[in-house]
Amino acid sequence: MKITNARVIVTCPGRNFVTLKIETDEGLHGIGDATLNGREKAVVAYLEDHVIPVLIGKEANRIEDIWQYLYRGAYWRRGPVTMSAIAAVDTALWDIKGKAANMPVYELLGGASREGVLVYGHANGADIEETTDAVGRYIELGYKAIRAQSGVPGVKGAYGVGRGDLYYEPADGTLPTETLWNTSAYLNFAPQLFDRLRRDHGNEVELLHDVHHRLTPIEAGRLGKSLEPYRLFWMEDCTPAENQEAFKLVRQHTVTPLAVGEIFNSIHDCRELIQNQLIDYIRTTVVHAGGITHLRQIAALASLYQVRTGSHGATDLSPACMGAALHFDLWVPNFGIQEYMRHTPETDEVFPHSYSFKDGYLHPGTSPGIGVDIDETLAAKYPYDPKQLPVARLEDGTMWNW
Ligand code: GCO
Ligand code: MG
């Protein structure tokens, strides 16, 4: 089965998505997500200029060889743009292989290891009152695990307080919006938020929190310690991870479980974190970390150190990524949790899919392949709308991590 055609589809049904569609001489096609929030066109160019020309005529069955060709064969390795492009090819080829075998991708990987995929949703509000109400609404919807973010008194533009109840869209301007950050105010406030959430909602629901790279390691240690009484499922991205050793300091000071990895694109970004057991959950995703083929290697390494998966699944990852992720999650032995931020109804229409939510769990469905397709006619009705992620500064004007 040869690859005869491949093309990139850019659509904006509520937000921008980049999708690669690969077609074969046997009439089967597959799709893969290539969306990199705020950098969409860079991946489009990489795919169109450097990837698609070498795909035409290749054997669609040879997923591993094509992965190696695109990764090892290219002199310039790794990085979010390259790895998102490789991920899109990889996902589309697993989709095709599943369709050719008439099996859902989780069967090709080794079959289901569980009945459903535990997911967490996002509850957020401008203040504690709004956030606790939002957590209550998620519990009513059946969620067993909920990420809670709140505006911080005195901080203009705290991370995670979004528009919309079920989805959150941080990319909001043609130029980056400038937000302000105040670490002291945040560190004083966060324990109050979780104290209130436990008092209002009890101990059964799993609570998660995203620090979004805002703290230094010692500050992260202090936050983790101060949140211990509230038994978080995890504290995410507590400090930037370019220096993997930074997590040693955090780990020394807290037993709050640590999650990191949504911006990683390779096993080398997390090898030391995993091998030194500095984290509990690895958040690499299908779309930004080289597809199912590479994610499988990361998960295998993580399994040796009792690190479990907790893949990124924000609204800016398309349904094609979510579908592929759910097959992976249903199979992967060391599964932890899957982030699930819903898409707008327009997006769901553009990407018809077989996955479904019930009682806090998602299931990928049993359709052959990844169980997600793209309606190209509908997609064409939503032209690309350039949007950038915000930036953050400290109150004195110093650039900070968003
Ligand atoms: C998360 C993330 C997102 C990112 C977004 C950037 O944990 O879901 O931090 O909200 O900010 O995906 O594009
Ligand atoms: Mg995050």
At residue 154, the pLDDT reads 83
> Residue 344 contacts by C-beta under 8 Å, 6 or more apart in sequence?
13, 14, 15, 167, 315
375 burial via Cβ count (<10 Å: 0-12, 13-18, 19+): middle
Scan for tokens 């064409």, then name that residue: 380
Average pLDDT, the chain: 97
List the chain domain ranges.
Answer: 3-104, 108-368
Q: Is the C-beta atom of 262 inside 6 A of ligand 1?
A: yes
Residue to substitute in 15, 212, 343 for testing ligand 1 pocket (most ligand atoms within 8 angstroms of CB) = 212
Cα separation, 272 vs 307, in Å, equals 12
The pLDDT, as a whole number, for residue 259 is: 99
What does the pLDDT average to over 228-246? Answer: 98
The greatest distance separating any two alpha carbons of the chain, rounded to the nearest whole angstrom, comes to 61
Range 52-61 average pLDDT: 98
- The residue nearest atom 13 of ligand 1, judged by CA position, is 37
Ligand 1 atom showing the smallest separation from residue 212 Cα: 9
Q: How do 391-394 and 399-400 pair as beta strands?
A: antiparallel
C-beta of residue 374 within 8 angstroms of C-beta of residue 342: no
- Average pLDDT (344-372) is 98
Catalytic residue selected from 46, 120, 143, 159: 159
> Residue 224 above 80 pLDDT?
yes
Q: What is the pLDDT of residue 164?
A: 65
CB hemisphere CA count around 203 (13 angstroms): 4
Q: Give residue 242's Cα distance to chain centre.
A: 18
**Model confidence pLDDT, tens digit, residues 286-342:** 999 999 999 999 999 999 999 999 999 999 999 999 999 999 999 999 999 999 999
Residue with the nearest Cα to atom 5 of ligand 1? 314
258-260 and 281-282 strand pairing: parallel
Instruction: Mention every residue, 6+ apart, whose C-beta is less than 8 A from residue 28.
Output: 1, 60, 96, 99, 100
- Clarify whether 212 is annotated catalytic: yes
Share of residues in the chain with pLDDT > 70 (%): 99
3-104 maps to which CATH number?
3.30.390.10
Q: Residue 258 forms beta bridges with which residues?
A: 235
For residue 155, the model assigns a pLDDT of: 83
The Å distance, Cα 80 to ligand 2 centre, comes to 16
Residue 311 CB less than 6 A away from ligand 1:
no
Non-local (6+) Cβ contacts of 329 within 8 A are 117, 309, 311, 335, 338
Task: Quote the CATH superfamily of domain 108-368.
Answer: Enolase-like C-terminal domain (3.20.20.120)
Q: In which band, very low, low, confident or very high, does the pLDDT at 163 lie, cut at 50, 70 and 90?
A: low
Does residue 339 have its Cβ closer than 6 Å to ligand 1? yes
Q: Are 365 and 107 in contact (CB under 8 A)?
A: no
To the query of whether residue 382 is one of the catalytic residues in this protein, the response is no
CA distance 41 to 204: 43
How many whole angstroms separate alpha carbon 268 and alpha carbon 205? 34
For residues 169-196, average pLDDT: 95
Which of the listed residues 311, 312, 318, 337 should we mutate to test ligand 1's pocket, taking the one with most ligand atoms within 8 A of CB? 312
What confidence category does residue 185 fall into, taking pLDDT thresholds of 50, 70 and 90?
A: very high
| Catalytic residue selected from 209, 212, 288, 327 | 212
316 lines ligand 1 (CB under 6 A): yes
- Angle, to 10 degrees, between the axis of helix 319-331 and the axis of helix 291-304? 40
CA-CA distance, 237 to 224, in Å (whole number)?
Answer: 12
Question: What is the distance between the alpha carbons of residues 138 and 141, in angstroms, rounded to a whole number?
Answer: 5
